[in-house]
Amino acid sequence: MSAQPCQRSLALRILTGARGALGVIALLTPRIGARMFRIEADGSAIVMGRLFGIRNIALAAGLLRPEVTAVRRLSGPFLLVNALIDLADASVFAAGGHRAQIGRPAAALGTALALTGAALSAAGFASLPATQGGDR
């Protein structure tokens, strides 16, 4: 018996929309993202920006799967991966700011966005039912 999806929580809707929007912007217009983070928009920054976009589009597409709103045992691993990616991003932004590899405003913005993504993944997970009907 397969688990039936329930209504998406606000956290999952925000996470999906933000990942999708950031992904499309980064993929199609990477210079905007580079400017937002005050990164010089050279060749390597453009390539990395597009890779960031592809990753976020893939994660958003995964969040759209019906199983993600079914039960924790089905969606937990995927939401955990989302949270871990965001925590890794936050660490990279914080370290980059600490080492003066990027400006402090960019480090603060990137860290805040990444931690928000991790918190939304956790809130989305918490909003899911532990089991569905007779599942144990």
Every domain of the chain and the residues it spans? 10-127
pLDDT at position 1: 43
Instruction: Give the separation between CA 130 and CA 126, rounded to whole angstroms.
Output: 9
pLDDT at position 39: 79
| pTM for the predicted model, two decimal places | 0.83
Residues lower than pLDDT 70 in the chain: 1-6, 132-136
Instruction: Give the separation between CA 11 and CA 117, rounded to whole angstroms.
Output: 9
pLDDT at position 96: 94
Question: Which residues 6+ apart lie within 8 Å of 6 measured at CB?
Answer: 69, 70, 128, 129
pLDDT at position 21: 95
